[in-house]
Every structure is written in structure tokens, then in C-alpha cells.
Structure 1
Amino acid sequence: MPSPNTISPDKLARLIGRPDSPLVIDVCTDEDFAANPQLVPGAVRRPWADVPAWGPAFVAAGRPAVIVCKRGLKLSHGVAAWLRHEGVPADALEGGIVAWQAARLPTVPAERLPRRDSQGRTVWVTRSRPKVDRIACPWLIRRFVDPQAVFLYVAPAEVLDVADRFGATPFDVDHENVHWSHRGERCTFDLMVEEFGLETEPLKRLATIVRGADTARPELAPESAGLLAASLGLSRMYADDLAQLEAGLALYDAFYRWCRDAVDEGHDWPPTARKS
């Protein structure tokens, strides 16, 4: 029987990727994390012993939290209890990261994460006036890699210099020194799904749709043409790139939930008549 104030790996996996997903906080000891440097998607690392100092900051987020340690025992239960004391609804992940990996659920390799700023956020920079990949990639990062990630949209000629001066990671830029960009026929979104360890069936399906829309190959998926049309419409609705990003997050939320839950569902007309 599950302990009180816990959540199973399967249930948490169903919540991750949604805009209302809980905050995931990894409190594994440094020794345990060094032996297994993998994160539950979207998790942030915090030292368990310092929860009195960092715990109050999570109150302002207004979201529940799930605490992850190695085996889901004293550290995660203690931190979750402290956060509940601060007013944050918090559960411990049953079985910890060990149970999560035993269930063959995706993990993000820590070595793939860019350096973080003084506030613990990853910072990314790309070309202004985004269309497909430059909205899709931020959506993936915000939902599965770093919920607090910062995105800078700048003039194309300034991307690399801004990256250098502001400690940002460039993406979706055609330059030989930029890692996060197109590879052959694959777009940047494809690369991020693969290298961040997120190759679930729904995200692989979404990656095909994004690739078709981003590389002018609508034959890859019937949904690619619709994604491109919606993306171009958003780019004309918003002059501000960050406002467009916020609107685009909802678009990708919808496509992801379709990829995950609704691919076999149709919508016919006329509707089936009600039985009397």
C-alpha cells in the first residue's frame, strides 16, 4: 500500500509535460547523483539540507511539488514535509530515481544540460521572429528540461556574440560551432528529443510533425501542414517574440496531448443520433 504523501512513477510520468505539472525537485546527495547523474524530466537540483533556505521560494510558484531522492525514503519524505510546512503541497516519488529508471521512464542526462546562471536557470539564445523550431524547442525545454529556462531572441547576426557575452546557449543557428541545430534532414527539435533522453512515443511522433513543418516536408505527417499554418499565423499575430512564444506554448501543449492521448480519436459529422 502506498505511503501517504507519495506519488507513483507512472502517475508522475503522466503529469510531466503538462503546463500544470508539479515542480520536480531532485534532492539526491551529491555522492548518489555523481554515481547516477540522471534527472527526472523537468527536475531542478536542490541540496536537501538547505530546504529551510530555498523552500520558501517555491511558495510563490503556486504549484505542487514532487521530491526525488535515490530510493524515495528519508530525504524526499523529509523535504516534502518541510515544503508542506511552508505551504507547498508536496509528495515524495515512490521508490525515488531508482524506481523511475526501473520503470524505464525517460531521464535527462545531466551532462547535456547547459551551464546555469546565478539563479539556476539555463539561458538560450536564437534568431528573432521564430516560426516552428524556435518555438518548438523552447516548449520542449520548458516542459521537460528546465521549467525556468530563459530564451533570448535577437537579430540573426548577433546570436553568437550575445551567447558569448551573456553566457547563453545558441540554438537553431546555421553555424558549424553551434551544437543545437539541424543535422542533415533532422531539425533542432529532433536533436533535443534524442540528446535529452526524451525519446518517448508521443515526443517522437511530435518530432516528426515538427520536422515536416520546419523543413517544408508536409508529407512526413498529415498534421505538419496544420502546425505550419498555425505557426505562421502566430508569427503574424505577435510582433513581440516572447508574446508569440507564450501563445505558442499552448499550441504545442495541444499537439503533444494529441500525440499522447488522442491519435486514435476521430470527429465525425453528423454526430451519432441519441437513442430515445
Structure 2
Amino acid sequence: MPSLLEISPDKLNRLIGTPNCPALIDVRVDEDFDADPRLIPGSLRRDYREVQQWIEDLYGQSAVVICHRGKKLSYGVAAWLRHAGISADVLEGGFEAWVEAGHPVVPAAILPERDEQGRTVWVTRSRPKIDRIACPWLIRRFVDPQAVFLFVAPSEVETVAERFRATAFDIDAPIRWSHRGELCTFDVMVEEFGLKTGPLLRLATIVRGADTARLDLTPEAPGLLAASLGLSRMYADDNEQLEAGLLLYDAFYRWCRDATDETHNWPSPKKGT
């Protein structure tokens, strides 16, 4: 049972993927990280010895600190964060307990390089509809909460990626992050980021059906298509559309995770019938 200063792996797993997830700080030493170079989804590696230099990046947030076994490094860093007025918990049992519980982990080697501010930068075609909103949602919620997304003319995506050290995605070119056979880019990211959980695989089927005009794949695909096209008409600015679309995918994800068995009937059954 976790102490008052700890959060269990199962509880943290319920928070990851939601807008209210705390900042996840991985402070494992290099030796432990090199032995298992994977990350809890959405976590960022930080050097525990430099906590007083990066602590200001967390002002206004809550945090969960992760080390190998949830002992001295996590407790020390969390204490420094609380000293600075930042609400901070320790992951009970650390990264080791997370893996033992069977929760998803992201291979660190697959992550794009980060910019000077520690963010991954992505670029894709302008005027997004489905995949180009779904993929940023997945990245923001499960890979890098601070990720930056650039929307440019289709003909300029690869050049912008090269000149601005960004990672291109969802374009008609032989790149890593795009459609692959019958799979859409969202499918590819779910698989390669190690996020093949039941809820995300269910969501991936909905996205694939809406994005590839295979609306018979699942009953929810036409609804996602309709909502996505509606959003694209509501917003002229791609970044504003992305922010609105994040809420849409938050709702679809929570349905996939928590509400697939729930029904809604009207009128309500009368008492005694």
C-alpha cells in the first residue's frame, strides 16, 4: 500500500492519457536506464543532480517522480519539488514496479530528438482532418506533453522537417511515421510507441475507419468522421483546431477505456414496469 507521498502504478496508469495527468519525471541513473532504455508514457528524463536548475519548469504543475525502485532518488527529488511549492509524489516501487505490473512502456530510442527547450517537434500537412489530429493527441497524451506541431503546405513538409529539425508525419512519402499498408499513421504510432493497450487499439480502429473511408470497421467511425469534418469547418487556424480536437479525442479515449458497455435510453423506464 502506497504511503501518503506515493502513487501506485495502477493509479498512475489511470491518469496517463488524460488532460490532468501530472508531469512525469524520470530520474533514473544512467546505469539503470541503460539496462532498460524505455520510458513510462509521457515521462521526461531529468538529472536528479540538477533538480534546482530545472525545477522552475514545473511551476504551476503537479509531478510524479520515477526512479528505479522508488527509493532515495525519487524521494529526494520529490522533496525538493515540494520545497519549491510543487505538489509531488513518488511512484511506488519505481520503474521496476511499473514494468512488473504490465503497464505500457515507450522505447526511448524511437523518440525524435528534442529541441533546446526539451520538446519534440513535428511537422505535417496543413488543414488537418483525422490522422493529423489523432496523432498529435496521442503524442501529447502518451509521448511528449510539450510536443510542438507545425502545419505547413504539403509540398513543404519534408523541407521544413529538414531545416527546422522537426519530424515529419502523415505525408505521402516513404517515412517512418505515415500510413503503412492498411494501417493509418495513428495505428503505426500506437504500435511503435509500445502503446498497444485495449483502449488505444479500440480507438485506433475507429481512427482507421474514419481516416481511410472504411466506415464499416466499427460503428463509431462515422461519428468521428462527422465530428472531424465539422471541426475543420469551424476553425481556420490549424493550431486552434488542434486544441479543440484534443478534447474530442479525450472523449473518444475515455469512451474506449471506460464506457463501451454503457447505454443511454430515452425515455427512462417507468417504475413498476
TM-score tier by shorter-chain length is over 0.9
User: Percent identity over the alignment?
Assistant: 69
1:205 aligns with 2:202: yes
> How big is the shift at 1:2?
2.3
Aligned to 1:41: 41
Aligned to 1:54: 54
2:136 partner amino acid: P
**Counterpart Cα distance in 2 of 1:65 and 1:130:** 32
Aligned to 2:232: 235
> How big is the shift at 1:271?
1.2
The count of aligned residue pairs is: 272
Q: How does 1:116-155 map to 2 (within 5 A)?
A: 116-155=114-153
1:252 partner amino acid: Y
2:38 partner amino acid: Q
1:12 aligns with 2:9: no
Moved more, 205-214 or 30-39: 30-39
Aligned to 1:68: 66
> How big is the shift at 1:35?
1.1
2:243 partner amino acid: E
**Counterpart Cα distance in 2 of 1:225 and 1:232:** 11
**Counterpart Cα distance in 2 of 1:170 and 1:199:** 22
Q: Secondary structure at the match of 2:25?
A: strand
Aligned to 1:23: 23
Unaligned runs of 5+ in 2: none
> How big is the shift at 1:274?
5.3
Q: Secondary structure at the match of 1:219?
A: coil
Find runs of 4+ consecutive structure 1 residues off by over 2 angstroms.
Answer: 1-4, 272-275
**Counterpart Cα distance in 2 of 1:2 and 1:259:** 28
| TM-score (structure 2 length as normaliser) | 0.98
1:28 partner amino acid: R
**Counterpart Cα distance in 1 of 2:132 and 2:98:** 30
CA offsets per residue over residues 245-269 of structure 1, 9 Å max, x none? 0000000000000000000000001
2:67 partner amino acid: C
Q: CA RMSD in A?
A: 0.9
Determine which of 86, 105, 108 is the counterpart of 2:106.
108
Determine which of 157, 160, 163 is the counterpart of 1:162.
160
CA offsets per residue over residues 22-52 of structure 1, 9 Å max, x none? 1111000111111111101000111011111
> How big is the shift at 1:117?
0.6
2:72 partner amino acid: K
Unaligned runs of 5+ in 1: none
**Counterpart Cα distance in 2 of 1:2 and 1:237:** 46
**Counterpart Cα distance in 2 of 1:57 and 1:221:** 42
Aligned to 1:83: 81
Q: Secondary structure at the match of 2:216?
A: helix
**Counterpart Cα distance in 2 of 1:24 and 1:260:** 21
> How big is the shift at 1:57?
1.9
**Counterpart Cα distance in 2 of 1:160 and 1:30:** 34
Aligned to 2:264: 267
Determine which of 219, 223, 226 is the counterpart of 1:226.
223
Aligned to 1:173: 171
